[in-house]
Structure 1
Amino acid sequence: MEPLFNPPLHRQRHQFVVDFVKRNKPPKVLDLGCSECSLMKRLKFHREVHLLVGLDIDGTKVKKKMRALAPVSTDYLQPSYDQLCVELYEGSVTERDARLRGFDLVTSIELIEHLTLADVERFSEVVFGYMTPAAVIVSTPNCEYNPLLPGLRGFRHSDHKFEWSRAEFKSWALKACSEFGYEVEFTGVGQPASGYQESVGFCSQIGVFRRLERGDDSNALGGDDAEDVFSYKLLYSINYPSLCDNNILRRVLGSEVLYWAEKLKSRWMEKKSGEVNASCAPIETEEEGEEKHTACREEMRNVVSQCESGASEDQEEEDEGVRWTRFQRRQDSCTSLRCVSVPLDVLWSCCPRVSTLSGSLGNLRRLLMDDPDVELSQDGDAVLVNCHEQDLEEEEAQDELEDSGYEPASRHHSAAAEQEEDWEESV
C-alpha cells in the first residue's frame, strides 16, 4: 500500500516521461510494459512524437484499452501537418524484434521488478545492446522507502520478483552503461517526508540513460541478420490523419477554397445586384453615389479583412483595390451566366489558410486540378462557382412535372425568364 501522494505516484512517473518528451522532442518513442496504455494515451497528444509504440506480454490487457489510442473526430476534421503512427505489440522484453530497433526513447516504467534476475540480464542485452535507443528511462521501486509505507509487509506487489535498494539499482545501471556504451543520471519521484530524503531517497527511483556517441557498433548485438528477427505479434496499428498525406491535403484545401470562393462570389453578386437596382432607380446626386460606392467597397474589404488578419491597414486598402479589380475583370470576360470566376491569385492572396496549405500559387493550381469537387476555368487560373443553383433546382422541378404529364397553367413565365436572362447579359 502506497501513501497518498499528490498527484498520485503513477501520475508523477508518467509526468516525468512527458516532461522529458517536451524537452527532448523524440520522434520515435517505445513504451515497454505498456499494459493498459495509460502513458501512451498522454504521449499521443505530443505531436513531436511521430511513431508511438507499446509492447506488453499480456495481449488481452492491451486489447481492452487500445481503442483509446485511435484518432477522434477532430483529428479528421482538422488534421495538422504532424504525423503520428501508433502501434501495439504483444511480446516479451527478453526477446528481440527488428521493428523496435533505433528508437529515440524507450521507457520502462515499473517493469523490471516483474522479471527474474536472469531475465533482467536478457532485458539489458535486448534494450541496450540490440534496440540501441538514443535514450532510456527506467523506473523501479526503491525498497529503502518501504518502511515509510503504512501496513506494507514484503514487496509492494505480489508479482514483484525483487525490489532494489538505491545501491543495487545503481550497480545494475552502471554495469549496463559499461557494457553497452551509455551514461546514466539517477533521480526519482515520490518525495518522502521532510528529513527522510537522504536516508531513504525517492519512492520510485529513476535512471535516465543516454547512448554515448561511438565510432563503431562493436557492442551492439544482432549483426547483419537483425532485420530478419520478428518475435512480436502486432495487435494494433493506426495512422493519424495528416496534411502530409496528399489526399487529405487536397480534401482540406478544396474545402477551404470552395468556402472562400463562395463568399467572394456572394459579395460580387450583391454588388452587381446593387448596380442593376441603381440603374433603374431615380437619378442620385454625386454625393449619394459616392456614398454607395464607398459602402460597396467596404463590404469587399470586410471579406478580405476576415482572411488577412496579419496585414496592415494601409497595405490591406491598397491590395484590396487591386484584387477587386482583377476579380471584376474576370467576371467581365466570363461568357457564362451560370458561374462566377474567382481568380486563384485572389484566393491565394486573400486567405492565409489557402496560401499556407498550398505553399505557392503554382502548387495551389496543381492540387486543385485533381480535386473533383473544384471546377477550374479552361486556363486553370480561376475557380468557377455556380451562381444559379436555385434556377437549376427550379428547372429540375419543371422537368419532373413535364415527365409526369402535368403542364402548369403559367407557361408564359418561361418566356419572361428568358427575356430577363437576355436583359442581364446586356447589363
Structure 2
Amino acid sequence: MDLTFSPPLHKQRHQFVVDFVKRNKPKKVVDLGCGECTLLKMLKFHHEIELLVGVDVNGAKVKKRMYVCMYVCSRKWHGLAPISTDYLEPSYDQLCVELYQGSVTQKDARFKGFDLVTSIELIEHLTPADVELFSEVVFGYMTPKMVIISTPNSEFNIFMPGVSCYRHSDHKFEWTRAEFRSWAMKVCLDYGYEVEFTGVGKAPQGQQEAVGFCTQIGVFYQLWGRDCCKTLLVNDAEDLFPYTLLYRVNYPSLCDNNILRRVLVSEVLYGAEKLKNRWMEEQADGICDAVALCQTEGGACAEEMKDLMEWSGASDSAEKQGSCTSCRIVAVPLDVLWSCCPKVSVLSGSLGNLKHLLMDEPNIKLSQDSSAVLINHWEQDQEEKEDDYNLDDSGYPEASLHSHSAEQEEDWEEND
C-alpha cells in the first residue's frame, strides 16, 4: 500500500503544537529534542510566547541550525534571529530565544516552571531506563503546566512498506496504543497530571478505529493542589545547571526603556519636522491661522499650530565662512506633537511622560522651559537657491532582495 500523508506527517505534528499554543497561550515554552529547530521557528511568531527554548543532545545539529538562523534570514521562517523589521518597528511583545545542548535525562534548574513542554518524536529514541529518568525530569522536576508528547504508534506499521521492526534505526522501542496509555497513566498517578490521547496521520478508510493514528499524542495537564510525594522529593534536589547554552537572543521590544526612547525620539523628530515644514509653507503663503493644515491633516491641530514660533539669524559658523546661509529656528510645542502625532502619544503614554522621556536626549533640543522641540531650518540666499534648481536631480535605484531556498519535503522515514 502506497501511504502518503497530506500535509506530510511531520508538518501535521508541528501544526498540532501550533494550534495548541494558539488556544492555550503559554508564555514559556521549551521543545525537548528540538533538532533543527523547525518547530521553534514556527512558534516564534506567536506573540503570547515570551521565552522560547530548544534543547537537544546533538549540539552540532543545533549549532548548524543556529548559524543558518543567524546568517540566512531570507528563509521561509526567517530563522530564529530577529530580522531588520523587528528593529525598525519593535512592538510591545517580548521574546527571548535560547538554545541548549543537554540530555533530557538530566535535571537543569533553569527549566523549572515552564508553561508548556513539547517532546515530539523523542521518547522512542531513549532506552527503557532513560524513559524512567525522562519521566522524572519532565514531570517530577520541571513540573510544567502542560506537556505534549508524540511517539510512533506501532500498530500503524502494517501500512508502512519496508518497515519490518521499527520506523527508524535509532528507535529503541515503538509502543502500541495500550502501551503508551499504560506509561502515560502511570506518569499521571506518580506526578499529579491528567492526560488526553489523540494523534495525527489518519489510517486508510475504515481502518482508523482498528489501528488508530500513525503518530499517537498524549497531552498532559498539571492538576491543581496535587499531593505527590514523588514530586516533592524530586523538587528538593540540589539545583544543577548541566546544559550548555549555545545561543541566546532578546528580540527588540518597546518594554525595553532604551528601545522605547530610541523609537520615541525618531517619531518626535519626524513629527516635528513634518509640522515645521507645513507651518513654514503656510507662513510663506501668508496663511497665519493654519486652517489649511487642519483640513489636510483631518485633525484638530489648527489652533495648536498657531503656537509655533520662529526666530531667524545668521549662524556663527556661517558668518565665519562668509556664507549667506541663515538658520531659522521653529519651536514645536510638545502639546502640539501630542495632539497631531498619534504614534508619539501612544509611545509616551502621557504628555508628562513625553516631556520626561525627552529631557536628557542629546538628539532633541528643547526650549528653555522644556515645553517645545526646537527644529533648525537652514536657508541659502536666492542666488544659491537658483543654482540649486539648475542641478540635475539625483535618483536612488530601488534595491530588492531576491532569495530562493528549496526545502526538500521530508517523508515519514526521515521524520520517524
- Please state which band the TM-score falls in when normalised by the shorter chain: 0.7 to 0.9
**1:24-35 → structure 2 map (5 Å cutoff):** 24-35=24-35
Partner in structure 1 of residue 301 of structure 2: 320
Match of 1:280 in 2: none
SS of 2:11's equivalent in the other structure is: helix
Within a 5 Å distance, the mapping from 1:60-139 to structure 2 comes to 60-66=60-66, 67=69, 68-139=79-150
Aligned length: 357
Distance 2:108 2:333 in 1: 54
Partner-residue secondary structure (3-state), 2:64? helix
Q: CA deviation at 1:211?
A: 0.2
1:370 maps to 360
Worse-superposed segment, 234-243 or 217-226: 217-226
Q: Cα deviation per residue 1:161-191 (whole Å; 9 max; x = unaligned)?
A: 0000000000000000000000000000001
Following the alignment from structure 1 to structure 2, what is the Cα–Cα distance between the partners of residues 24 and 98? Answer: 24
| Separation of aligned partners in 2, 1:77 and 1:2 | 49
Q: Distance in 1 between matches of 2:360 and 2:295?
A: 31
* Alpha carbons 1:341, 1:385 under 8 Å: kept: yes
User: Which residue in the other structure is 2:307 paired with?
Assistant: 329
* 80 and 217 in structure 1: CA distance in 2 versus 1, 3 angstrom threshold: farther
Distance across 2 between alignment mates of 1:30 and 1:379: 51
Letter in 2 for 1:101: K
Distance 2:362 2:122 in 1: 52
Runs (5+) with no aligned partner, structure 1: 276-291, 306-315, 395-427
> Contact 1:75 / 1:240 at 8 angstroms: preserved in 2?
yes
Secondary structure of the residue aligned to 2:205 is coil
Please list, as runs of the form range in 1=range in 2, the aligned pairs for 1:122-271 lying within 5 A after superposition: 122-214=133-225, 218=229, 219-226=231-238, 228-271=239-282
SS in 1 for 2:301: helix
- Asked if the contact 1:102–1:132 (Cα under 8 Å) also holds between the matched residues in 2, the reply is yes
Corresponding letter in the other structure for 1:3: L
The 1:49/1:225 distance shift into structure 2, 3 A limit, reads: same
1:8 deviates by: 0.5
The alignment-based identity, stated in percent, is 65
- 2:94 and 2:2 map into 1 onto residues whose CA distance is 39
Once the 2 structures are TM-superposed, how far is the Cα of residue 220 of structure 1 from its aligned partner? 3.5
Q: Would you say the 8 A contact 1:88–1:236 is kept in 2?
A: yes
Deviations 1:52-78 (A, max 9, x none): 001000000000002321111111111
Cα distance, 1:193–1:225 mapped onto 2, change above 3 Å: closer
Q: 1:379 to 1:209 in 2, by over 3 A?
A: same
Higher deviation after alignment, 94-103 or 65-74: 65-74
Give TM-score scaled by structure 1 length.
0.80
Instruction: State the secondary structure of the residue aligned to 2:285.
Output: helix
Which has the greater radius of gyration? 1
Aligned partners of 1:89 and 1:236 also within 8 Å:
yes
- How high is the TM-score relative to the length of structure 2? 0.82
Which structure has more relative contact order (CA 8 Å, sep 6+)? It is: 2
Contact kept? 1:142, 1:203, Cα under 8 Å: yes
**Counterpart secondary structure, 1:338:** strand
Amino acid at match of 1:371: E
Higher helix share: 1
| Structure 1 residue 338 corresponds to structure 2 residue 319 | no
Aligned to 1:272: 283
**Unaligned residue ranges in structure 2 (runs of 5+):** 70-78, 314-326, 385-416
Letter of the 2:10 partner, please give it: H
Q: Structure 1, residues 307-366: CA drift from partner, whole Å, max 9, x if none? A: xxxxxxxxx4xx333322xxx23416x687621111111111112111111111111111
Q: How does 1:2-13 map to 2 (within 5 A)?
A: 3-13=3-13
| Structure 1 residues 72 and 372, CA gap change in structure 2 (3 angstroms) | same
Shift of 1:390: 5.4
